Amino acid sequence: MATRLTLLSHAPTSATRAGAFPLDEPLDEHGLTMARQAATKMRLTDRALVSPALRARQTADAFGISPTVDPLLSDCDFGDWAGRKLADVERDEPDAVAAWIAEPDSAPHGGESIEELLRRIATWLGQQAGETGRLIVITHPAVIRAAIVEAIGAGARSFWRIDIAPLTLTDLRRGERRWTLRAAGVPI
């Protein structure tokens, strides 16, 4: 039997709207309302996992899901850039931002490189390979992009070519040998 993995991007926060690297901020009122509205359109499952981040756990709560927390589903560690707006970081550290985007093994913020994120998510996907049935995962856009890159065997440089909006679904399937991408970034 195949594994069906539905990845749900958490609801938006004030950092999402400000174009800022996230801290462990909660959903704002608008994000919470959006999550509650989206929850009425989603089919639930018996198995669910969630990132330890508050915004992901609050999204799960809004959906009425009681998931298991999995630390491997944590957002990318943005190091010194956490809490700062991307526009401000680009103004203050343009070469660092350019290196981070162009070189997947670069981590000028002192956090996690894209290569490190991809390895972490590859490990996590490997753990799911033996599971059967449907699994819903509430996590972050960066984690979902990494899962897509790993599932389709794309190179690390393709990470930035995938856009995952808040409260969208990405569907991966695994048969006997490999993961396949069924849908990506589908609004609920």
The first and second tokens of residue 6, run together, are 């539905």
pLDDT mean by block of 10 residues, the chain; 188 residues: 89 94 94 92 82 97 94 98 97 97 97 98 91 90 97 95 96 88 88
Residue 34 and residue 9 in contact, taking contact as beta carbons nearer than 8 Å? no
Which residue type does 11 have? A
Angle at 68 between CA 141 and CA 5, to 5 degrees: 50
pTM: 0.95
Q: Would you state the pLDDT for residue 177?
A: 83
**Domain range enclosing 64:** 3-187
| CATH classification of the domain holding 35 | 3.40.50.1240
Domains: count for the chain:
1
Report pLDDT for 137: 96
Q: What is the pLDDT of residue 1?
A: 60
User: Would the CA dihedral through 153, 132, 128, 183 be positive or negative?
Assistant: positive
Other C-beta atoms closer than 10 Å to the C-beta of 107 total 21
CA–CA separation, 163 and 178 (whole Å): 23
Question: Which ranges of the chain would DSSP assign to H, the alpha helix?
Answer: 14-18, 29-39, 54-62, 86-92, 94-102, 114-128, 141-152
